[in-house]
Amino acid sequence: MDRRELLKLGALAGAAAVTGVGANALLRPSPAAALAGLPGGSPLGNRRVKNVIFLAYDGTGYEDFATADFFARRVVGQPLRYHQFLSEGLTGTMIPSSLTSWVTDSSAASSAWSTGRKIVNGAVNQFPDGTELTPILELARATGRATGLVTTARATHATPAAWVAKVRAREMEEEIAIQYLASGTDVILGGGQAYFDPAIRSDGRDLFGEFAGAGYDVVKTPGELASSSGSKLLGVFAPSTRHVAYEIDRRFGGVDQPSLADMVRAALPRLDGAEGGFVLQVEAGRMDHANHEQDAGAMVWDWIAADEALGVLLEFVADRDDTLLIHAPDHDTGGGVTFGWGSRYSRTDPALMTFGNVRCSYERLLLDLMPRNPSPAQVRELVEANVGVPVGDFAAENLAALVSGTDMAGLRWGHQNAVLGSMKYQVAQLLSQSFENRPERPPVSFATSNHTAGFVPVVLAGAGIEAGNLGVIDNTELFGVMTAALGIEFENPAMTADEAQELVDEG
């Protein structure tokens, strides 16, 4: 074989690796089903449970755990329950890929849990040819179980949606709200009033009224939540398209909305009253948004809020073997890391302690506190008072120019990656330490404003489960864990990555 033939062969091999069968096959998990070898295909063996609770942390991973763990111990003064939970549960590592991308979005990730099938990013329980998948809450209802969704994101956001709805695109939140009503889901708690509000919905439908007509208590404030006694409950606590406020803004900004733990405490007794048991998905949704926004202060406080909700759930499953608790992030976001700083990294811990000065998310600072055309002096004053970091002339002038040139109210802050574009980067660069390493700023640096491929921890607890090792599992395998535990025999239709990609390419 001469050199020319060799080159040709090399080029062909290269082409095959990029476009051929090999490309998407590489995205499939291997081994396909780590749990398949277990009795009943489940860590519980052939044992059944009455209830399943799935706690999802959106957009966070091992590195955030390290940052949040320091924050919890040293700044808040109370270790994370998650720390002990991870030690005492049946734990493993989860691969969070979607059907055609090694990096998943939230809708594909949640659909994978909910249906046992990977789909293309952006869809909710649908393949690109319109084939619909049946989500776990629909299957659970068919067994007579009550069902619930609790989230700090909008109630109709991707992660909760994928446990109930079937739509072509996750942005179809008006349709998702309609499907929630039709589904009969017993408890729905989160943010985003817009999608239920006749004054804002494009079809003018009054979904608040329709839910009330279907027997739901409809509540919009913590006070209404506390005084509600109905067994069916719709709680939407944030105005317009806003998510439930970041924990940091709830605690320090006087935002009158419930915490994730408050919402979980409201959901549990309603669902636990059901004769046939229940399935509940709880999402700590806003670590993801904080990481998209490269806002480490908001991220660590939402970890604290998520940890309180975890505490409520651990208390609920303690000493009862009829409830399985599953916990996993859907993916990591931002690739934020606490980095070593100073001689022998001696300045890392003092810099991390400055998390204690942060009193406000970037979201609240820019959307709610900053005047419309701020002067550099106003910017400096607001940032120093609320974010607790000193602002130089350069940052103050640039931030003032950025805010003045942007329709802040028109921004859907904390939404999908592309909405804020470079704005988010610029704000993060101007306000965070990554712009300049300063002793007054936490030493946390982000790799991206997008999701990452990072593998994430998964924990199974309750239901008499003992500490152990699950190994490396695929996100789709948690569907099998849930259906086996609930005594449901069901398989959704399948599509290969290559078939899906072809359909996407055909547009």
> Which positions touch Zn ion (CB under 5 A)?
58-59, 106, 288, 330
CB 262 within 8 A of CB 225: yes
C-alpha 58: how far from its chain's center? 2
Residue type, 340: G
Query: Least distance (Å) from Zn ion to the CB of residue 81?
Result: 22
Query: Least distance (Å) from Zn ion to the CB of residue 92?
Result: 19
Query: Least distance (Å) from Zn ion to the CB of residue 56?
Result: 8
Which residues in 281-312 are b (16+ Cβ under 10 Å) and which e?
Answer: bbbbbbbbbbbbbbbbbbbbbbbbbbbbbbbb
Residue (295 or 330) nearer to Zn ion, CB: 330
Residue (138 or 330) nearer to Zn ion, CB: 330
Query: Least distance (Å) from Zn ion to the CB of residue 500?
Result: 20
What are the DSSP E strand ranges found in 285-437? 323-329, 332-333, 337-338
Half-sphere exposure of 68 (CA within 13 A, CB side): 25
Tokens 């809708």 appear where? 107
Closest CA to 336 of 294, 284, 282: 294
Query: Least distance (Å) from Zn ion to the CB of residue 375?
Result: 37
Query: Least distance (Å) from Zn ion to the CB of residue 59?
Result: 5
Query: Least distance (Å) from Zn ion to the CB of residue 373?
Result: 35
Query: Least distance (Å) from Zn ion to the CB of residue 416?
Result: 11
Residue 477, judged by CB atoms within 10 A of its CB (0-12, 13-18, 19+), counts as buried
Sign of the four-CA dihedral 192, 196, 197, 201? positive
Torsions phi, psi for 188 (to 5 deg): -130, 115
Query: Least distance (Å) from Zn ion to the CB of residue 288?
Result: 5
Which residues in 445-466 are b (16+ Cβ under 10 Å) and which e?
Answer: bbebbebbebbbbbbbbbbebe
Report the DSSP pairing between strands 51-57 and 323-329.
parallel
The secondary structure of residue 507, as a DSSP letter, is: -
Q: Which helix (H) or strand (E) holds 315?
A: helix 296-317
Query: Least distance (Å) from Zn ion to the CB of residue 331?
Result: 5
Residue (396 or 459) nearer to Zn ion, CB: 459
Residue (58 or 307) nearer to Zn ion, CB: 58
Closest CA to 361 of 300, 411, 426, 283: 300
Residue (156 or 354) nearer to Zn ion, CB: 156
Name, in order, each residue with C-beta under 8 angstroms of 378's C-beta and a sequence gap of 6 or more: 370, 371, 400
Report the DSSP pairing between strands 90-95 and 468-474.
parallel
Query: Least distance (Å) from Zn ion to the CB of residue 54?
Result: 14
d(CA 277, CA 49): 9
Residue (404 or 417) nearer to Zn ion, CB: 417
Per-residue HEC secondary structure of 325-357 comes to EEEEECCEECCCEECCCCHHHCCHHHHHHHHHH
Residue (328 or 379) nearer to Zn ion, CB: 328
Sign of the four-CA dihedral 82, 84, 87, 88? negative
Residue (152 or 323) nearer to Zn ion, CB: 152
Query: Least distance (Å) from Zn ion to the CB of residue 94?
Result: 13
Return the residue nearest Zn ion (CB atom): 106
Name, in order, each residue with C-beta under 8 angstroms of 82's C-beta and a sequence gap of 6 or more: 65, 306, 307, 310
